[in-house]
Amino acid sequence: MFSKKTMEVFRNPKHVGFIKDADGIGRVGNPSCGDIMWVYIKVKQKNGKEILEDVKVKTFGCVAAIATASTVGEIAIGKALDKAIAITEKDIAKKLGGLPKEKMHCSTLSKKGLKAAIEDYRNKKEKAD
Amino acid sequence: MKLLKSTTKNTAVNAGDVTNNTGNYTMTKRVYLDHAATTPLDKRVLKVMEPYFSEKFGNAASTHFFGEEAEEAVEKAREDIAKAINAKPGEIYFTSGGTESDNLALAGIMRTGKKCEQLVTSNIEHHAIIRTADSLKKEGFETKFLSVNKKGFIQIEDVEKALKKKTRLVSVMHANNEIGTIQPIKEIGEACHKKETLFHSDAVQTVGKEKIDVEKMNIDMLSASAHKFYGPKGVGFLFKREEIKIEPLMFGGSHEKGLRPSTSNTPGIVGMAKALKIGIIEMDEENAREKKMRDRLVKESLEIKNSWINGGFPKIAGCAPLGFDFVEGQSMLLMLSDKGIAASTGSACNSEGLLPSHVLTALGLPRVKCHGSLRFTLGRENTDTDIDYVLEVLPPIVKKLREISPLRGK
Ligand SMILES: Cc1ncc(COP(=O)(O)O)c(C=O)c1O
Ligand code: FES
């Protein structure tokens, strides 16, 4: 059912867990499967740009949820926020060597989680400003 | 699972582990704990089947000695199977398995009646029953699904209440495949018979594993499948009382009295009869052995915090339907599989779809808990060493997944 790459990432997810003093947290859930994801981000300034320094994801979900959670972190780290927020479920799936159609929503959940975390960071910043 | 390439054929436990050399999995340990899904064919069964493939290959319906040889074997199997459940040989119909027997029983009975008549069944049945009922509803029949209580049992009062004049058939499974609960079949049958209603039971999980006496248990029709009791796949039977008339699902020759046309699966049928015979002879001893192992597995697994067992007792001997909060079944399954342990889950996110198991939902289990369910079903080849191994491997897997779960400590 899953690609070799997906299984590899599931077995050894590098970007799962949490960040203690996260700059932004995105909490998302998928009502249709009941799965939940929390995305933590750490942001740093570089050449006047906001860059994702670290991403960690906590997930209560299927194998694809864990694999896509780790992968969204892998893709996003080092990217500017504007670039990171534009990451799509397809980008994540592509990195994993494809996902079964019925598992695309797991990838969507990861994408939404990252987006929510970035938005959370921006909201906090706006308030602070 | 395709990903797991085994190098050993033996299910016996050797020391060792799974080595991951980038995608190539060499397993020295293989522990099968999914006997509710299917069982390995007993070697003794294979032996009696063998001559019927290429030596005594005749068509049981042919009028020559090749045919006679096959017919004799089929009829002997019919007698043995009938005797095993206290039925008459003429009441046993060979089919392709549990699904076909269930379809034949339900559709076969309902279609001899009027469209306004009703079929009563339960909400924890196998899909072979539920989807047949749904299909009959589309044809115009009325259906009613009885609910089970939190422990997974049908209440007799509910059956009594559901029985109406228009009720043509009641179908309740003997034991459930996901949670192992054994229903009060005798009492349900009695309630049906008081109202002169027919009673069918899907006994796919119990034939060869629990004592079955269709007379004592008030059963009018019963479904069984050989691969669940160490027999071959693709063969089963339907027991149907002589006096009951049903419609066939398929049309063709006059095999099985025209009720189930198609050339008899002689090796399968011979194997099924042998498997049932062995099952009955070894039943008490084997159930006691499995129960002891199961009880230990349950007791020690439940020492993991925030865990539970699905459904109450009585349960079939080898069934350990467990659950662990904050984690998801499919992830547990794959991690266990990586360690050479084969289990199962009825949780969502399986290949079928996103909905949690209808059985667990029927128990009133909230969705997150359905997701955390993990079913072990023990069988003949399992030993105490297997249980030791599971108890060694399972707690770190649950721990690892909880560490990455957002639900923990919320
Ligand atoms: C309770 C029950 N009924 C029916 C079936 C279907 O049996 P078969 O696979 O032989 O069609 C199964 C097995 O999956 C089962 O567990
Ligand atoms: S996240 Fe729900 S099925 Fe994968």
Last residue of one domain, picked from the residues B232, B259, B278: B278
pLDDT at B409: 53
Which DSSP string do the residues of B214-269 spell out, in sequence order? TTTTT-SEEEEEGGGGTS-TT-EEEEE-TT-----SS-SS-GGGGTS-S---HHHH
**Nearest CA to B381 among B410, B342, B325?**
B342
- How many residues does the structure list for chain B? 410
Task: Look at residue B10 and tell me if it is in a domain.
Answer: no
Strand, helix or coil at B302?
coil
For chain A, the domains span 4-124
pLDDT at B18: 44
Task: Look at residue B2 and tell me if it is in a domain.
Answer: no
> Number of folded domains in chain B?
2
Name the burial class of residue B120, with classes exposed (0-12), middle (13-18) and buried (19+) by CB atoms within 10 angstroms of its CB.
Answer: buried
Catalytic position from the list A106, A109, A114, A116: A106
**Tokens for B69?**
């040889």
* CATH classification of the domain holding B336: 3.90.1150.10
Same structural domain for residues B59 and B182? yes
Pick among A9, A40, A62 to test the B interface (most B CBs inside 10 A): A62
- Show the domain range for B128: 43-278
Give the Cβ contact number of residue A14 at 10 Å: 12
pLDDT at B23: 45
Pick among B1, B331, B401 to test the A interface (most A CBs inside 10 A): B331
Cα distance between residue B208 and residue B304, in whole Å = 33
CB B234 within 8 A of CB B268: yes
Q: What is the pLDDT of residues B346-404, one digit of tens each?
A: 643 344 556 788 999 999 998 888 889 999 999 999 999 999 999 999 999 999 999 99
Same structural domain for residues B72 and B89? yes
3-state helix, strand, coil in chain A (%, to 5): 45, 25, 25
Same structural domain for residues B36 and B47? no
**Tokens for B184?**
């009060």
Same structural domain for residues B351 and B379? yes
Q: What is the pLDDT of residues A17-70, one digit of tens each?
A: 999 999 999 999 987 777 899 999 999 999 889 999 999 999 998 899 999 999
Closest-approaching ligand to the CA atom of B316: 1
pLDDT at B26: 55
Tell me the C-alpha to C-alpha distance, in Å, between residue A84 and each of A80, A99, B57, B289.
Answer: 6, 21, 67, 57
**Nearest CA to B320 among B340, B339, B292, B358?**
B292
Last residue of one domain, picked from the residues B248, B278, B308: B278
pLDDT at B28: 74
Task: Look at residue B4 and tell me if it is in a domain.
Answer: no
Task: Look at residue B16 and tell me if it is in a domain.
Answer: no
**Tokens for B243?**
């006096």
Task: Look at residue B12 and tell me if it is in a domain.
Answer: no
Same structural domain for residues B76 and B151? yes
Long-range CB pairs of B56-59, under 8 A, 24+ apart, other chains included = B56/B266, B57/B266, B58/B266, B59/B263, B59/B264
Radius of gyration of chain B (CA): 22
Last residue of one domain, picked from the residues B221, B251, B278: B278
Cα distance between residue B176 and residue B106, in whole Å = 18
pTM as predicted: 0.90
Nearest CA owner, ligand 2 atom 1: A106
Name the residues of B annotated as catalytic.
349
CATH of domain A4-124: 3.90.1010.10
Mean pLDDT by 10 residues, chain B (410 residues): 41 41 60 97 98 97 96 98 98 98 98 95 97 97 98 98 97 97 98 98 98 98 98 98 97 94 97 98 98 98 97 98 94 94 70 74 90 95 98 97 82
Report the pocket of ligand 2 as residue ranges, CB < 6 Å. A 30, 33, 35, 61-62, 64-65, 103, 106, 109; B 349, 354
B356 touches chain A (CB under 8 A): yes
Using a CB-CB distance cutoff of 8 angstroms, which residues of chain A are in contact with residue B327?
60
- Centre of ligand 1 from the C-alpha of residue B225, in Å: 7
Same structural domain for residues B267 and B298? no
pLDDT at B356: 82
pLDDT at A23: 97
> A122 falls in which pLDDT band (50, 70, 90)?
very high
Same structural domain for residues B257 and B392? no
pLDDT at B399: 96
Q: Is A106 a catalytic residue?
A: yes
Same structural domain for residues B174 and B312? no
